[in-house]
Structure 1
Amino acid sequence: MSWLKPCRATGIGSLPHQSEPEALAVIAKAMPHWPHWPQLPGKMPEQGFVVQYVQPLLSLGVLKAAALKDPVFPRLEDGWEEKAAEFYERYLAFMNGDSGAEQVFALAGEAFAGLDAFIKNFAYYFPQAEGVKGHVSGPLTVGLQIKDERGRACFYDDTLREILVRCLIVEAVLEARKLKTLGLPVLIFIDDPVLFLIGTSTHITLTREVATDALNTIIRALKAEGVKVGVHACAGIDWSILFDLPLDVISFDAYHYFTGMALKAQGLAGFLAQGGKLAWGLIPTSEEAWQETPASIQERFEEQCRELAGRGVDVALLRQNIIWTPSCGTGALPIDLAEHIYGLLAGVVAKV
């Protein structure tokens, strides 16, 4: 039996609300079977995409960020190498099972208030839950935002990239372990939208091999925890990049970037045949959502299915292996629009 029943929904992560109870209520109404915990970047800058999962590096002084903006690896400062060595010591101790080493990596405080509220209030909000969904920021997207002492993206530096990836591994593993305490299957998305830059003329030194190796390192660490793993990319990437990784779910913006996925129909068919699932982001996370209804979204989906069938995809198999989602997170949107998007999602799931 599949770990995911048909006609289920989940979210990408962020919401624009200012309180956890409000966000949890929205999630509970739209996705009662596979809820996600809420990130509220508008309430707490610590929950911003770039800084949320590098809190250990900030606390150790390996990274610096004024007001949690524009993080930098300050390698020219006195004592930086010692701080980096301390990070590695704690990382290795954690990976070797030293529970005392978890303190610096703990998912706590304002950065993870949404996760704490989700777990503490889970039984109240989600009595029908069949699984839970988490998320971690992706190494390429974060690594192109955080700079070195010269203002260069840290992802291009082998040493700094290694530090970043190791930090993301520990945070992802700790999140998986926290969510597993709920006693349900766990799915974690690695959110890495700038994968679309691979192969572009503006980033000719960004290689597919280095980017996918960073992703795969985190995927393997999560798989070792016994959880399902997906990658979310809300732009038009070369989907073969993800088809070649050991993923359970590929999450994509099916509203704006379906054509790119359709052009990779052979790879999609192979991914489905091997048990892969698609997070079908057909609810637009933009003003366009105001023009849509559950019926119009369903009509668009049927058109997509006809096109994929014409390209050799087993549409019956596809329908059995979809989890419905918004096309991206909603944290930067007005509250009424975000709630409309979640309402559309619930309406679509009720119709399909």
Structure 2
Amino acid sequence: MNWLKPNRATGLGSLPHQDELMALKIIAKTMPHWPHWPQLPGKMPEQGFVVQYVQPLIKLGVLTVTPPKDPVFARLDSGWADTVVEFYEQYMAFMNGDAGAEQMFALDGAAFAGLEVFTAHFSQYFPHAEGVKGHISGPLTVGLQIKDERGRACFYEETLRDILVKCLAVQAVLEARRLKTLGLPVLIFIDDPSLFLIGASTHITLTKEAASAALAEIIELLHQEGAKVGVHACAGIDWSILFELPVDVISFDAYHYFTGMALQAKGLAGYLEQGGKLAWGLIPTSGEAWQETPESILTRFDEQSAELAKRGLNPAVLRQSIIWTPSCGTGALPVDLAAHIYSLVAGVVARLDSR
């Protein structure tokens, strides 16, 4: 059975609003079947991309924070070795079902206010929902932002990377469990835009193997929870990285980076044949959106679909495999622009339904 009906839509997560209920209203109006819970980084710094899902490491003292700077691994602290041991003990206890450890990793406080409001008001705002979508920051992107005491990205150090990935994995599991209480299928996106740096001359020591292994660890645990998993990258990447992972949805910026995906049409065809889905981010998350209408977006999509057909993809299979999204999050945009972008998504879906 196909878990995703055609012509559905969802969002990447972040919105620029200062009020969670106002954000829910926009999501309910435009994405009623697969709503996402809103991140409001402009309202709460704790909901920022880098810090939101590493709160347990901050609580334990593994990371130190001096706002507005990103967290830093506290390896210079005298009790660092004991702190690391405590983290792994808490992690193993969580994996063994210990309730106290689960509380240590709990998604609570200001960092998850949007999730709390979403679940509390879900039945009121989303009576027609067929599934729910969550999101977590990706290990490579966060791992390149959080540094060690020397200012080196923690992703390059095996022990620090392992701590980070395990923390993100537990947070993803707890998010999936929270969303599962709503009684619907759950889809979690791992947002990892820095995947585009793999193979770049500026990051020659960054390997595909390390990035893939980090994603795979999170994907495996989410699948064990029964969740579907997507990976989002809003830049041009070597898509074979994701084609080779057991990922259910590949989310990409189809507005700016379609050509790169088309050049890997053979791999894409194989991915779709195995049941993979695409989050088609064809609505730009920039001022360019003001120049677009649902009709202009669909004209562009028809051209893209024709191009892929020339490269051997069945257009009917493609259209059955898409969930529509903005090209990226909207948290840094003006509220009126974010609302327009969401309305474009809804307009595209409505016009496709009428075809």
Normalised to the residue count of structure 1, the TM-score between the two structures is 0.99
Q: Which amino acid aligns with 1:345?
A: V
Q: Paired residues, what number?
A: 352
Residue 314 of structure 1 deviates from its aligned partner by: 1.1
Give the CA deviation at 1:68: 5.5
- Helix, strand or coil at the partner of 1:32: coil
2-structure distance, mates of 1:150, 1:100: 34
> How big is the shift at 1:67?
2.3
Aligned to 2:238: 238
In 2: Cα distance, 1:81 partner to 1:21 partner:
43
Question: How far does residue 69 in structure 1 lie from its aligned partner after superposition?
Answer: 2.7
Q: How does 1:264-343 map to 2 (within 5 A)?
A: 264-343=264-343
**Aligned counterpart, 2:25:** 25
The residue type paired with residue 239 of structure 2 is W
Q: Which amino acid aligns with 2:52?
A: Q
CA distance in 2, matches of 1:67, 1:18: 21
CA contact (8 A) 2:139 2:164 kept: yes
Q: 1:75 & 1:256 partners in 2: Cα distance? A: 41
Q: Kindly indicate whether residue 155 of structure 2 is the aligned counterpart of residue 145 of structure 1.
A: no
In the aligned structure 1, how far is the partner of 2:79 from the partner of 2:103? 22
The amino acid of 1:250's aligned partner reads: I
The alpha-carbon deviation at position 76 of structure 1 amounts to: 1.1
Aligned letter for 2:333?
Answer: L
Aligned residue for 1:22, secondary structure, equals helix
Is contact 2:94-2:101 (8 Å) kept? yes
Within 2, Cα distance between the matches of 1:157 and 1:323?
36
Contact 2:51 2:70 in 1 (8 A): no
Residue 58 (str. 1) matches residue 65 (str. 2): no
Q: 1:75-100, CA deviations, whole angstroms, 9 ceiling, x for partnerless residues?
A: 01111111111111000000011122
List alignment gaps of at least 5 residues for structure 2.
Answer: none
* Unpaired segments ≥5 residues, structure 1: none
Give me the whole-angstrom Cα distance separating, in 2, the residues matched to 1:149 and 1:74.
7
- For the 8 Å contact 1:51–1:68, the answer to whether it is kept is no
Match of 1:164 in 2: 164
Cα contact 1:233–1:252 (8 A) shared by 2: yes
For 1:276 and 1:117, the matched residues in 2 are separated by: 31
TM-superposition CA deviations, 1:231-250 (whole Å, max 9, x none): 00000001111000001100
Amino acid in the other structure paired with 1:48: G
Partner letter of residue 20 of structure 1? E
Q: Are 2:105 and 1:105 equivalent residues in the alignment? A: yes
- How far 1:339 moved relative to its partner? 0.3
Helix, strand or coil at the partner of 2:16: coil
Once residues 172 and 22 of structure 1 are traced to their aligned partners in structure 2, the CA distance between those partners, rounded to angstroms, is 25
In the other structure, the counterpart of 1:194 is: 194
Q: Find the aligned partners of 1:74 and 1:68 in 2 and give their Cα distance.
A: 17
Deviates further, 70-79 or 286-295: 70-79
Match of 2:222 in 1: 222
Instruction: Give the drift of 1:27.
Output: 0.4
CA distance in 1, matches of 2:256, 2:295: 18
Instruction: Report the equivalent of 1:73.
Output: 73
Q: How does 1:24-43 map to 2 (within 5 A)?
A: 24-43=24-43
How far apart, CA to CA, are the structure 2 residues paired with 1:224 and 1:162?
Answer: 20
Which 10-residue stretch deviates more, 286-295 or 72-81? Answer: 72-81
Letter aligned with residue 260 of structure 1:
G
Q: Which residue in 2 is equivalent to 1:95?
A: 95
How many Å separate the matches in 2 of 1:347 and 1:93? Answer: 47
Question: 1 CA distance for matches of 2:43 and 2:50?
Answer: 15
1:111, 1:118 → 2: CA distance?
A: 13
Runs of 4+ in 1 over 2 A off after TM superposition: none
- Structure 1 letter corresponding to 2:99: S
Deviations along 1:219-259, one digit per CA (max 9) or x if unpaired, are 00100100100100000001111000001100000000000
Query: Quick check: 1:45–1:68 contact (8 Å CA) kept in 2?
Result: no
Segment drifting more, 64-73 vs 183-192: 64-73
**Inter-partner Cα distance in structure 1 for 2:68 and 2:170:** 20
| 1:181 paired residue number | 181
**Aligned counterpart, 1:126:** 126
> Cα distance, 1:273 vs. partner?
0.5
- Is this contact kept in 2: 1:9–1:345, CA < 8 A? yes
Distance in structure 2 (CA, Å) of the matches to 1:39 and 1:297: 26
State the partner residue of 2:48. 48
